[in-house]
Amino acid sequence: MLTDEYWTSKTCWYSPDLDVEDVAAILGLQASTMRQYVARGQLDGFPEPLIRGRSNGWSLDQIFQFIDAYRPGLRHRIPRLYCLPGPINPAVFLRGEEVEIEYGPRTPVRFGVHFWQPSDRRGEIAVAYPASLDQAGWGFAPKLLAHKALDRATAVVLVTNEVQMTPQHDWQAAIGVLDRHDVALPKNAPRHPVGEPGQPEVVVPELGWYDLANLLRTDVPWWPPALRDIAQIVRWYPGAPRQRIRIQDRDYNEMMLRDIASHCPPADAEAAIALADRVNRLVEDRWYRTYATNPHLPVGEERERPGLVQAAEAEFRIPIPEVPSRADLAWLLHLQIDDAVVADNAIGILQSSGICDAFLASVVLIGENAGPLAKEWLAAAAPVEPAQARNELGFAFARAHSTRFAPADRWLKHPQDPNTWIIAARSGTAVATVGTTVPASGQLVEFELGPFGGFFRDSTGQVWPLPYPRTGGYSSGHDGTGPADLVATVMALRDDAATDIATVAIPRNYRSLPLWHHVIATDTPFHVSKSELAGICARPISEHKSSQ
In a structure prediction context, what are the per-residue pLDDT tens digits for the chain, which is 548 residues long?
Answer: 789 999 999 999 999 999 999 999 999 999 999 988 888 888 889 999 999 887 889 999 999 999 999 999 999 999 999 999 888 999 999 999 999 998 877 778 999 999 999 999 999 999 999 998 777 789 999 999 999 999 999 999 999 989 999 998 899 999 999 999 999 999 889 999 998 777 788 999 999 999 999 999 999 999 998 899 999 999 999 999 999 999 888 888 999 999 999 999 999 999 999 999 999 999 988 777 765 457 889 988 889 999 999 999 989 988 889 999 999 999 999 999 999 999 999 999 999 889 999 999 999 999 988 999 999 999 999 999 888 899 999 999 999 988 877 678 899 999 999 999 999 988 889 999 999 999 999 999 999 999 999 999 999 999 999 999 866 789 999 999 999 999 999 999 999 999 999 998 888 888 888 999 999 999 999 999 999 999 888 654 444 343 44
Tell me the three state secondary structure of residue 142: helix
Instruction: Note the pLDDT of residue 542.
Output: 42
Q: How far, in Å, CA of 176 to CA of 440, rounded?
A: 56
Strands 408-414 and 417-425: antiparallel
Instruction: Note the pLDDT of residue 546.
Output: 38
84 lies in some domain: no
Residues 214 and 239 in one domain: no
Which of 77, 107, 138 is the last residue before a domain boundary? 77
Q: How far, in Å, CA of 39 to CA of 48, rounded?
A: 11
Which of 18, 50, 77 is the last residue before a domain boundary? 77
Instruction: Note the pLDDT of residue 290.
Output: 64
Residues in the chain, how many? Answer: 548
- Mark 377-387 as b/e (b = at least 16 C-beta within 10 Å): bbeebeebeee
Residues 187 and 287 in one domain: no
Residues 98 and 212 in one domain: yes
Query: Is the C-alpha dihedral spanning 490, 494, 498, 500 positive or negative?
Result: negative
346 lies in some domain: no
Residues 243 and 119 in one domain: no
Q: How far, in Å, CA of 270 to CA of 499, rounded?
A: 33
Instruction: Note the pLDDT of residue 436.
Output: 96
Residue ranges of the alpha helices (H) in 138-268? 140-145, 209-216, 230-235, 255-258
- Write the CATH number for 58: 1.10.1660
Residues 491 and 534 in one domain: yes
Instruction: Note the pLDDT of residue 548.
Output: 40
499 lies in some domain: yes
Residues 96 and 144 in one domain: yes
pTM to 2 decimal places = 0.82
Residues 115 and 166 in one domain: yes
456 lies in some domain: yes
340 lies in some domain: no
Q: Which domain holds residue 176?
A: 92-227
Q: How far, in Å, CA of 235 to CA of 449, rounded?
A: 57
Residues 147 and 215 in one domain: yes
85 lies in some domain: no
Residues 515 and 465 in one domain: yes
439 lies in some domain: no
Compute the chain's Rg from CA coordinates: 31
Q: Which three-class secondary structure string do you get for 18-77?
A: ECHHHHHHHHCCCHHHHHHHHHHCCCCCCCCCCECCCCCEECHHHHHHHHHHHCHHHHHH
110 lies in some domain: yes
Residues 12 and 104 in one domain: no
Residues 106 and 186 in one domain: yes
**Domain tally for the chain?**
5
Residues 299 and 423 in one domain: no
Which of 434, 463, 479 is the last residue before a domain boundary? 434
Instruction: Note the pLDDT of residue 390.
Output: 93
